[in-house]
Amino acid sequence: MIISKSNFASDATVTITPESPIQDVSVIVDGDYSSVYSDALQTSTTIKLDFGELRTIEYLAIGGSNITTKDRVVISSETYEPLLDSNGSPITDSGGDPIEVLAIAPVEDADLGLTESRVIMYKLLTTELTSISITIFGSGQLKVAEVACGEIYTVPNGGEQSGYSRPWSVPNVMNRSATNLQNAPINLSYQSRVLKSTLTIDNLIRSNTADWEAMTDFCAYNTFYILEDDNKYHSYACFNMEVKPLTADARTREINKASLTFNAYARENEVIF
């Protein structure tokens, strides 16, 4: 399980191709789900985040989006890599500095085509990046509320306790109805609901608490993202976090118990989105 502990998207220069004449691209990185970028997807649309310098980007999250209902997504990252000779040794200039070349590493994801909108989060393999491009292929209306990217906190010891609820497994809607004399449902209506979850780490080594505190300091002020495993659909956006004080283990002072509670937004039916 990984948790986002920073978000550099708001510092990036955001461009969208083709550009919409009526939409503000800044809503994609403002962290507010009430502002959604919406445009007609003809064949493909590319969202590019340019950081202007090398940044450590370990995750990419896309929230409040219906791209999982589209055909495929291609994520391209740009970074600079050392130029090597035939022996695999770095080539240097006259000053002894390594000569670097621009490298582009595209990743194509065709495992989409779902019928509902989901929050998705990718763990990136190449992490020292200057820009990220997200190209969505398909047709129909395209909606994106937030794109986030940055560093991650890897939860130790698997990061879950028995009974941990998985917000990604259910949509954030529920139905309400009355019943007639035969106890059959009538007057069906639907409303959104808040999903709540608690993450507890029973054996947090004291030397690792600095990373825990840095992560919770970020999450206390921002929407953050959790990915439970390598499946991008097993992820969700988290907010309204409450951190419980660390408690010492009764057996040794070298182990702490950490816990945090949060609300989660995972997915919803496309017809309601």
Give the residue from 154, 170, 191 where a domain finishes.
154
Answer for the pair 83, 51: CB distance below 8 angstroms, yes or no: no
Are 48 and 175 in a shared domain? no
pLDDT confidence bin for 28, thresholds 50/70/90: very high
168 touches 266 (CB < 8 A): yes
The residue ranking higher by pLDDT, 272 or 257, is: 257
Among 41-45, 86-90, 151-155, the range scoring the smallest mean pLDDT is: 86-90
pLDDT per position as a tens digit, 47-69: 999 998 889 999 999 998 899 99
Q: Are 28 and 142 in contact (CB under 8 A)?
A: no
- CB atoms under 10 Å from CB of 233, counted, come to 19
| pLDDT tens string 89-118 | 777 666 777 665 556 667 788 888 888 888
In the predicted model, what is the mean pLDDT of the chain? Answer: 84
pLDDT on residue 271: 47
Asked which of 2-11, 100-109, 200-209 is least confident by mean pLDDT, the reply is 100-109
Task: Report the C-alpha gap between 160 and 149 in whole angstroms.
Answer: 23
Q: What is the pTM of this model?
A: 0.83
Q: What pLDDT, on a 0 to 100 scale, did the predictor assign at position 273?
A: 41
- Does residue 61 belong to any structural domain of this protein? yes
Which pLDDT tens digit goes with each residue over 160-204?
Answer: 665 678 888 887 777 777 888 888 888 877 767 788 888 888 878
Task: State how far the Cα of 44 lies from the Cα of 17, in Å rounded to an integer.
Answer: 9
The residue range of the domain holding 126 is 2-82+101-154
Q: Has residue 89 been placed in a domain?
A: no
**pLDDT value of position 81:** 63
Q: State how far the Cα of 119 lies from the Cα of 195, in Å rounded to an integer.
A: 14
Residue pair 262/242 in contact (Cβ under 8 Å)? The answer is: yes
Helix residue ranges per DSSP H, the chain: 209-219
Residue 272 has pLDDT above 50, yes or no: no
What does DSSP assign to residue 159?
S
Rounded alpha-carbon distances, angstroms, from residue 27 to 34, 112, 172, 182, 188 = 9, 24, 23, 50, 34
Q: Is residue 216 part of a domain?
A: yes
The C-alpha atoms of residue 82 and residue 25 are separated, in whole angstroms, by 34
- Let me know whether 147 and 160 are in one domain: no
Q: Give the count of domains, the chain.
A: 2
* Residue reference for tokens 């954030």: 172
Domain shared by 230 and 135, yes or no: no
**Last residue within a domain, chosen from 93, 128, 154:** 154
Q: Tokens 């129909």 — which residue?
A: 140
208 and 134 within one domain: no
Check whether residue 10 and residue 120 sit in a common domain.
yes
Reduced 3-state DSSP string for 174-217: EEEEEECCCCCEEEEEEEECCEEEEEEEEEEEHHHHHHHHHHHH
